[in-house]
Structure 1
Amino acid sequence: MQKIFVVGAGTMGSGIAQVFAENGFDVIIRDVDIKFVERGLGVIENNLKKSVEKGKITEEEKNKVLGRIKGTVDINEAKDVDFVIEAAIENMEIKKQIFKELDNVCKEGTILATNTSSLSITEIASSTARPEKVIGMHFF
């Protein structure tokens, strides 16, 4: 597993993208509007800048992490990823639509994860043709 696709560039999505990138994964972070993507990327850059200032990482490490993250508004960029984690708004219909789109775009073996804290993972998975590849994993 090397390529990660994060749906949602808000607080949770940007944090998840940062953790994956810090651990050597290539990450694409996607949201519905470029301004949300840019804001999420800015949050990640700010977090890493603070880590440099505190001596936790070097400037070079910060740049390597940032180099592993790409922003997009195009869900079709998920076509070659190994793992997707969705961190969109807690709305069942929106999540089901996202998973339906991901199911159509992603390669057969891609694992689709949701970051939901309260919605039925089984119901979200029912919007795909691969419910056995849909998991829940909540970051907090």
Structure 2
Amino acid sequence: MRFFHVFAAVLTFAVAAQPAYAFTSRNGARVNQVDAAVFEVVPRGASNGPDIWCAASEYARMQLGASWSAEIFVVRGRGPSVTTNRRTAVQFTLDPAAAGVTPSGGSISLNSLKAGEHMSVQLANTQCNVPFGRF
């Protein structure tokens, strides 16, 4: 019986010590859920806007079950990650009202990543195929 308790304690520690990365995109960005409404894209290193939008679209589609026509909204532009110790992350949502975001109107710049900017999952997914340096 004592062995079981030791084993359970070790297993609990091992599971708790693992980072809680929910998803890794094809370009290597990690995407973590911040809360019920917000998720965070944590790029691998210096990353451009198309890579970040690509990771957000993959997570929205594959993990959250969003439709191709669903809109992804920037909650917070580049800033420190709240789910990792990385210096750069961008936060997104599929529900701007729940995240307290006012959607912006008009066109966006792929690299600005300002709160309220948005695009469909399908349009963001097209950024996955943009050759590096061409945006």
Same structural fold, with TM-score higher than 0.5 when normalized by the shorter chain: no
TM bucket, shorter chain: under 0.3
Q: Which has the higher helix share?
A: 1
Q: Please report the TM-score for the alignment, with normalisation by the length of structure 2.
A: 0.25
Q: Please report the TM-score for the alignment, with normalisation by the length of structure 1.
A: 0.25
